[in-house]
Every structure is written in structure tokens, then in C-alpha cells.
Amino acid sequence: MVKSMTKSKVAEALASKMDLPKKTATQFLEEMAQLAYREAKNSFTLPGLGKLVLVNRKARMGRNPQTGEPIRIPAKRVVRFRVAKAAKDAILGTSK
């Protein structure tokens, strides 16, 4: 199994590609994350990757896995990431 890239590895890759110090690339990643957190309530788009959106989830019935007893799961707001078509095509390839 291949390990996913850590924040440090991503910063290192960006730094070498953009000819920047690693510290600057790390600061860029941190600022991008903070901007995404702040703007997620209005939907935040990363061009070519996808979009962070807030979604209202309806109340629903579920089951307690230990007892099997039905329980009511309350409505709540959740954050979703919608992957852009360009990212899907780049990762999965175009299926025709």
C-alpha cells in the first residue's frame, strides 16, 4: 500500500516545482487551509480540484449497532467536498 503525501511532502514538492523555500510553501498551504475554513460557509472552490460546500442533512432513522434498536438521527449541517469533473477525468481517465 502506498502512503499518502504528508503536509511536509506536499510543501517540499511545491517548493521544488515553484523554486521557493520550503517554509514559504508551508505558509502557503496553511493560508490556503485557513481561507478555505473561513469561506466554506459561502462555498469555497479550488479550481481544477473541487468545491467545499455546506449541506443540510435531514433527520433520519438508524440502528444502534450493538442492540439493533432503531434510533432517530437528528438533522445537522455537514461539510462536503464535491470533486471537479477535471479532477475526476485526470484521476480516473475519461470513460467512454
Write the DSSP assignment of 38-71 as a string of letters: HHGGG-EEETTTEEEEEEEEPPEEEE-TTT--EE
Domain ranges of the chain: 1-40, 43-96
Mean pLDDT over the full length of the chain: 92
- The residue type found at 51 is K
What are 31-68's pLDDT values in tens digits? Answer: 999 999 999 888 999 999 999 999 999 999 999 999 99
Looking at residue 8, its pLDDT comes to: 93
**Grid cell digits, residue 80:** 462536503
CA-based radius of gyration for the chain: 19
Task: Give the CATH number of domain 43-96.
Answer: 4.10.520.10
pTM: 0.74
Contact, 63 vs 69, CB < 8 A? yes
